[in-house]
């Protein structure tokens, strides 16, 4: 047989999408908008049997998992189970629009809803179930109405539905979620998402108004998660209202936790043993718990970079962070306007290291009318039987009846301070059995903030006041050698090392381009004529381009690249 004959007899396989539109009135073959399936379950069934399907495109509307061939209305066990290697896309205009392919997820809301009963308690156990299926992505959906909370003895609670993952349950899979809203779900564990031994990725996803006993927004046990540009807003739980990670790792970037409330531990995040958690360019605001207003770490290895903690509150310990076990390193963080009875900003029972942080306007005081232990201790820090290092850090303007800046207790408690400023030096620290070590390079005269505010007057809501003012002793006064090599930018995303020609260098430069300033922000003064000299070498060139590209998508974007290229050459 000739080659042409072989080609002519070969079957041509063409990948194609399937269409879903509840308003369609055609043949329901799923092959066009006119003939779209009117329920999502039919499309998922077709995708599992047709290996040529690459996408399921879903028009705006509300779709419930109990509707479709073989499903019974009101069946709480019914769930949407995505097909392998198929992308699910919501937000299409569908047949009622002149252009049915017009896609705008903010206008054409596509909702996957578990609200199949007369009350929320009669909702689907889980709305989306991904169990061992790879190649799954959901883009542009609202996932709501799941209710995974079957009452059963504690020792009989099962993993997954009907008690875990009200909105989504994931097991041994690596799905991708983009531009989704996971809202108004409930479960014993993982109101929004429950994940076991899974590696989900969330980009521009909003977890809001979910509830749970543990992990209202996200509960992950085992595996690892990737969160980028995510929002956790107004979730409520007993433990870990935003997210609870147990033996699970996570990389969290550009993510905001605000208004989350835990009755007991971890208003925004509860981190249990066995995981590594990296948080970068984040914000924790207005979260509350009995312990750990924003974060409670009880055994994970945690690294937090370029992150703001403001106006969080704990009734007992750790207004912003309670660090009980594991490791904690915080770099370029601002912790301001937080409150608790013990450790208005940070309370630590395990070793921790803070580099280039600004800790100010926090308070150890009565919160919600309740006092614990008969006193309010450690306005900034409370250190209990643990080693705690401060480098290039400002601890100032905090308040407490006992230990305005820090309180130390028990023989193993050590506060080790170098190239930093602690207001009042040892006079600002109450030591009950531990040790305070003031090493080299500490400031006697406090740094001058741009516009320092008294406690309670805007602290935690606007951080402009905590940047260094011209002439501040904190400028060019830090130890550049302790700044990790991968931390090249300050809390504003500006270069971490920038020399101020009007200030004598009093710190240590090492191999860095300049002596680092104290606190979370590098002083930039009035320098605008050569703003893109990111390396401080007097010109804008390839080295600066390399710095910009290394921070692409986190600190810099296309507009910044255009600015750098326009400034190319020697500084004026």
Bridge partners of residue 384, in order along the sequence? 409
48 phi, psi to nearest 5 deg: -70, -30
What is the predicted pLDDT for the residue at 529?
Answer: 47
Instruction: Write down the mean pLDDT value for the chain.
Output: 89
Q: List C-alpha distances in Å: 282 to 255, 257, 380, 453.
A: 5, 8, 20, 23
Grouping H, G, I as helix, E, B as strand and the rest as coil, residue 130 is: strand
**Section 100-110 average pLDDT:** 98
Q: pLDDT by residue (tens digit) across 284-339?
A: 999 999 999 999 999 999 999 999 999 999 999 999 999 999 999 999 999 999 99
Which tens digits make up the pLDDT trace of 200-239? 999 999 999 999 999 999 999 999 999 999 999 999 999 9
> Rounded CA gap, 534 and 184, in Å?
44
Per-residue model confidence as pLDDT tens digits over 164-197: 999 999 999 999 999 999 999 999 999 999 999 9
Length of the chain: 572
Phi/psi of residue 24, each to 5°?
-70, 150
Residues 368-409: tens digit of each pLDDT: 333 333 346 788 888 888 899 999 999 998 888 887 788 887
Q: Tell me the pairing of strands 193-198 and 168-171.
A: parallel
**Burial letters 514-526, b for 16+ CB under 10 A, else e:** bbbbbbbbbbbee
pLDDT digits (tens, 9 = 90+) for 427-479: 788 888 889 999 999 999 888 887 654 444 333 345 657 899 999 999 999 99
What was the pLDDT predicted at 151? 59
The most distant pair of C-alpha atoms in the chain lies apart, rounded to whole Å, by 95
Task: Please spell the DSSP secondary structure of 175-197, one letter per residue.
Answer: -EEES-EEES-EEEE-SSEEEEE
pLDDT tens sequence across 548-569: 776 666 556 676 777 778 778 8
Positive or negative CA dihedral for 59, 65, 69, 72?
Answer: negative
Would you say 512 and 497 are in contact if contact means Cβ atoms under 8 Å apart?
yes
Adjacent-strand bridge partners of 381: 346, 406
Distance CA 124, CA 141 (A): 17
Per-residue pLDDT tens digits for 471-490: 999 999 999 999 999 999 99
Instruction: Look at residue 410 and tell me whether its pLDDT is greater than 80.
Output: no
């Amino acid at each position: 047989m000739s080659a042409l004959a072989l080609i002519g007899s070969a079957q041509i396989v063409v990948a194609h999408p399937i269409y879903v539109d509840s308003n369609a009135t055609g043949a329901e073959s799923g092959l066009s908008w006119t003939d779209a399936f009117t329920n999502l379950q039919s499309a998922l069934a077709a995708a599992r049997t047709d290996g040529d399907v690459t996408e399921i495109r879903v028009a705006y509307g509300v779709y419930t998992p109990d509707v479709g061939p073989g499903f019974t209305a009101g069946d709480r066990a019914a769930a949407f189970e995505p097909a392998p290697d198929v992308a699910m896309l919501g937000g299409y205009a569908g047949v009622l629009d002149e252009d049915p392919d017009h896609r705008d997820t903010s206008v054409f809301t596509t909702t996957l809803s578990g609200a199949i009963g007369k009350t929320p308690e009669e909702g689907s156990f889980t709305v989306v179930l991904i169990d061992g299926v790879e190649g799954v992505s959901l883009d542009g959906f609202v996932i709501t109405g799941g209710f995974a909370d079957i009452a059963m003895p504690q020792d009989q609670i099962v993993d997954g539905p009907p008690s875990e993952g009200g909105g989504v349950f994931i097991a041994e899979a690596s799905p991708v979620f983009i531009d989704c809203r996971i809202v108004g779900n409930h479960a014993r564990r993982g109101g929004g998402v429950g994940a076991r031994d899974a590696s989900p990725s969330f980009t521009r996803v909003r977890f809001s108004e979910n509830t749970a006993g543990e992990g209202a927004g996200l509960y992950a046990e085992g595996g690892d998660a990737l969160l980028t540009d995510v929002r956790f807003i107004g979730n409520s739980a007993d433990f870990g209202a935003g997210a609870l990670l147990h033996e699970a790792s996570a990389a969290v970037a550009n993510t905001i936790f605000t208004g989350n409330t835990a009755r007991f531990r971890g208003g925004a995040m509860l981190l249990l043993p066995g995981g590594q958690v990296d948080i970068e360019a984040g914000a924790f605001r207005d979260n509350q718990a009995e312990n750990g207003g924003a974060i409670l770490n009880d055994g994970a290895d945690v690294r937090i970079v370029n992150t703001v903690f403001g106006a969080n509150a704990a009734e007992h310990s750790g207004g912003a962070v309670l660090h009980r076990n594991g490791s904690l390193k915080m770099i370029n963080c601002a912790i301001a306007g937080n409150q608790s009875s013990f450790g208005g900003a940070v309370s630590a029972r395990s070793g921790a290291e803070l580099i280039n942080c600004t800790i100010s306007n926090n308070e150890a005081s009565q919160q919600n009318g309740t006092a614990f232990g008969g006193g309010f201790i450690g306005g900034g820090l409370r250190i209990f039987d643990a080693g705690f290092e401060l480098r290039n850090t400002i601890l100032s303007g905090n308040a407490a009846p006992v230990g305005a800046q820090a309180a130390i207790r028990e023989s193993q408690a050590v506060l080790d301070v170098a190239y930093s400023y602690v207001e009042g030096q040892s006079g600002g620290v109450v030591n009950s059995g531990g040790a305070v070590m003031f090493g080299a390079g500490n400031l006697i005269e406090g740094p001058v903030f741009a516009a320092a505010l008294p406690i309670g007057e805007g602290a935690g809501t606007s951080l402009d006041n905590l940047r260094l003012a011209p002439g501040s002793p904190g400028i060019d006064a830090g130890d550049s050698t302790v700044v990790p090599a991968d931390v090249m930018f300050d809390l504003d995303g500006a270069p971490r090392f920038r020399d101020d020609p009007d200030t004598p260098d009093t710190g240590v430069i090492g191999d860095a381009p300049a002596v680092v300033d104290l606190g979370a922000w590098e002083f930039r003064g009035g320098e605008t004529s050569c703003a893109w000299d990111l390396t401080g070498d007097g010109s804008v060139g390839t080295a600066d381009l390399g710095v910009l590209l290394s921070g692409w998508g986190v600190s810099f974007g296309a507009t910044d690249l255009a600015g750098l290229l326009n400034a190319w050459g020697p500084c004026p």
